[in-house]
Amino acid sequence: MIVPAFSVVLIASAGFASAVSPYNLYARSLDLVPRQNKNGGNNSGGNTGNNNNTGNNNAGNAALTLNPANVQTASQTTGQEAGAEAGQANSATDNANFINFCTGKTLTNGLQVQGGSCNGIVMGDIPSTANMVSSIITSPQPGQDIAANTAFNVQVQVANLNAGSFTNPANTYYAAPQALQGGKIVGHTHITIQDLGGSLTPKNAPNADTFAFFKGINDAGNGNGLLQAAVAGGLPAGFYRVCTMASASNHQPVVMPIAQRGAQDDCTKFTVGQGNAGGNNNSQVFRVPNHSYQEQKEKKMPNINPQYELPPEVAVEIAGYIRSGLFAPLATNVGRLTSECQEGICGVRDGLEDAQSQISNIIEPTAERLVPIATELKSVYRQIDLLEALISRISNTIKLTSAKLDTTESLIRREERSLNDKKPPPLWPSLDKTPAFRARDYVVDNRLVERDLSSPG
């Protein structure tokens, strides 16, 4: 409880009187006093030096005190005094803005204390509802597939953030309050990517201590809220979630003025190495048309009972639920089937590579050795063809000679009969000469040569 204590000190010197009425406020054993001016109510003359020293001491003490004007009485009540909804918890209370809340605890003190700590720095400036931070990830798109181990950029459009302010996280972490410039929070945003396992719809939340990629964007982007983080080297094949984390300069999450509002951050899910990489991924993205409620009413829609018309925000929520409930498993199944097909294709490709290796290492050398043999066989086959033609020619010549022998034999018998009958024999008719044929004329160096063997002459 704050108890004021008043003291009046009357000082008279050379007809001059001055009255000083400082008051002290006590809470949790810490003095709460107003800041005093540098002179500390000092007099002129020989007392000036001493009073200046007093003023300096008072100023130093005031730096460790709470100005009564800064006391927030809302912290002194549980919130249940005027009644509350069922299930609401009591708020912790303190009469001095919880300035000693961290007493006896490990202080954050600008460090990222992995074992946990207590931070006594005030939250700071809070923007108006017109300047609340909002983010949307524009790349990668929901459901988009990116080639594995290939560099890509994460882009996010941020509203109402004076980006580019990024203090040293090694020793100023949460060490200063949130500040505004032109009514907007001064700070930066972060990009974090986590592996979701083998599906875009896991049943368990990912471990916050594990991430595949993290980067604080400490520049102002294009000056119009578009910020970018490069994922150099890309990511291994898998299913991922990318999120933003908007922060004030000292890395604390941005503090907003009201509870019922849109989120200041955005998340989206995408795949890596699951197929269709580098293609037009718009076909994989399921979107709710971005039409205002008034635009939808202006369209020719069937007349329905007004009591069944849904407010636009409810319609969008239902559409989002249907989209996530119906299409997310479909996208997962497509990704799984694509992965299985790729495995099958990889098996066929491995078989083809083995066959190609065998062709290169076995068949091609063997073929090179068979070429001379094939050439020799071709020559042998030609010799066989020539031999067959020569045999056919000899056969024809034998037939002609045999026919002439038969004719000669017949003439001799006729002559014998004429002689026996004592009749003069007629003169022999002239016979056609049999063409001269010698097989050796068709052989050179023990090999048949190319000559016309088709005619008997």
User: The CATH number of the domain where 224 resides is what?
Assistant: 2.60.40.10
The owner of tokens 């056919």 is 392
The answer to whether residues 148 and 266 belong to one domain is: yes
| Phi, psi dihedral angles at 149 (to 5 degrees) | 55, 35
CA 185 – CA 127 distance, rounded (Å)? 7
C-alpha pair distances (Å), 267 with each of 143, 156, 221, 288, 307: 12, 10, 19, 17, 34
Q: Which residues lie across from 195 on neighbouring strands?
A: 240
pLDDT of residue 61: 52
In a domain, 383, yes or no: yes
In a domain, 29, yes or no: no
CA 450 – CA 457 distance, rounded (Å)? 16
Say how many C-beta atoms besides its own lie within 10 A of residue 182's C-beta: 9
pLDDT of residue 4: 40
Residues 249/176, Cβ–Cβ less than 8 Å: yes
CA 242 – CA 60 distance, rounded (Å)? 48
CA 95 – CA 74 distance, rounded (Å)? 9
Residue that finishes a domain, picked among 220, 240, 272: 272
The boundaries of the domain holding residue 335 are: 312-428
The answer to whether residues 238 and 351 belong to one domain is: no
pLDDT of residue 330: 60
The answer to whether residues 202 and 323 belong to one domain is: no
CA 104 – CA 252 distance, rounded (Å)? 23
CA 214 – CA 90 distance, rounded (Å)? 37
The answer to whether residues 424 and 347 belong to one domain is: yes
The answer to whether residues 322 and 243 belong to one domain is: no
Q: Which of 154, 163, 159, 156 is nearest to 226 (CA)?
A: 156
Q: pLDDT of the chain along its 457 residues, tens only?
A: 443 433 333 333 333 333 333 333 333 334 443 333 333 333 333 333 333 333 344 444 557 889 999 999 999 999 888 877 888 899 999 999 999 999 999 999 999 999 999 999 999 999 999 999 999 999 999 999 999 999 999 999 999 999 999 999 999 999 999 999 999 999 999 999 999 999 999 999 999 999 999 999 999 999 999 999 999 999 999 999 999 999 999 999 999 999 999 999 999 999 999 986 444 444 343 333 444 444 444 444 445 454 556 777 677 667 666 655 555 556 566 667 777 777 778 778 888 888 888 777 888 788 888 888 888 888 888 888 888 888 887 888 888 888 888 888 888 888 888 888 877 666 656 656 666 667 677 777 777 777 665 555 4
Say how many C-beta atoms besides its own lie within 10 A of residue 167's C-beta: 19
In a domain, 111, yes or no: no
| Residue 279 DSSP label | S
In a domain, 76, yes or no: no
pLDDT of residue 62: 58
In a domain, 414, yes or no: yes
The answer to whether residues 212 and 325 belong to one domain is: no
CA 101 – CA 94 distance, rounded (Å)? 9
pLDDT of residue 394: 82
The answer to whether residues 415 and 323 belong to one domain is: yes
Instruction: Tell me how many domains the chain contains.
Output: 2
pLDDT of residue 300: 45
User: Which token pair is 315?
Assistant: 């319609």
Task: Determine whether 432 is exposed, middle or buried from the number of CB atoms within 10 Å of its CB (0-12, 13-18, 19+).
Answer: exposed
User: Which token pair is 446?
Assistant: 């023990």
Beta strands in 121-205 (DSSP E): 134-139, 145-146, 152-159, 161-163, 180-181, 184-195
In a domain, 139, yes or no: yes
pLDDT of residue 290: 45
In a domain, 209, yes or no: yes
In a domain, 436, yes or no: no
Decide: helix, strand or coil at residue 208.
Answer: coil
Torsion, Cα 74 80 86 87, to 10 degrees, reads: 60
